[in-house]
């Protein structure tokens, strides 16, 4: 059964990766897929690709693209929390809030700024 799950993961990754080249939305979707499977390192790499592809000039981006970029930073923050990398998580959460000042982005920043117990 474990071999079958591994094969299914590989096939799904290949299918998803096939259309990712220079398409931030596809990298974002693949990052979400990896995150849902608990593959945080892979999710982080995909979200970083989204940020790298889209960060050239956020000020001139259409709202939809800006929202995707902010979500990639948010998801990076959440992925970093899963890894225990709280300084990096806070930095990404702050960037998400700067790009897209929503309640969710603000709440993540506030939660990450609270002293850890």
pTM: 0.80
Cα distances (angstroms) measured from residue 69 to each of 1, 28, 39, 74, 86: 38, 9, 21, 9, 20
pLDDT at residue 103 is higher than 60? yes
Percentage of the chain surpassing pLDDT 70? Answer: 80
Record the tokens describing residue 85, joined without a space: 């990398």
- Domains, the chain: 2-113 (1.25.40.10)
Predicted pLDDT at 36: 98
Which CA distances in Å does 52 have to 3, 6, 48?
Answer: 34, 29, 6
- pLDDT tens digits for 40-97? 999 999 999 999 999 788 889 999 999 999 999 999 999 999 999 999 999 999 999 9
Distance, CA of 20 to CA of 2 (rounded, Å): 27
């Amino acid at each position: 059964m474990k071999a079958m799950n591994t094969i299914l993961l590989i096939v799904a990754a290949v299918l998803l990766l096939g259309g990712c080249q220079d398409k931030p939305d596809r990298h974002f979707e693949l990052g979400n897929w990896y995150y849902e499977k608990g593959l945080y390192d892979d999710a982080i790499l995909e979200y970083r690709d989204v940020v790298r592809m889209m960060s050239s000039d956020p000020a001139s981006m259409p709202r939809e693209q800006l929202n995707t970029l902010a979500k990639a930073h948010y998801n990076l923050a959440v992925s970093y929390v899963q890894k225990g990398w709280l300084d990096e998580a806070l930095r990404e959460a702050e960037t998400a809030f700067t790009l897209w000042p929503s309640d969710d982005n603000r709440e993540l920043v506030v939660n990450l700024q609270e002293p850890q117990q």
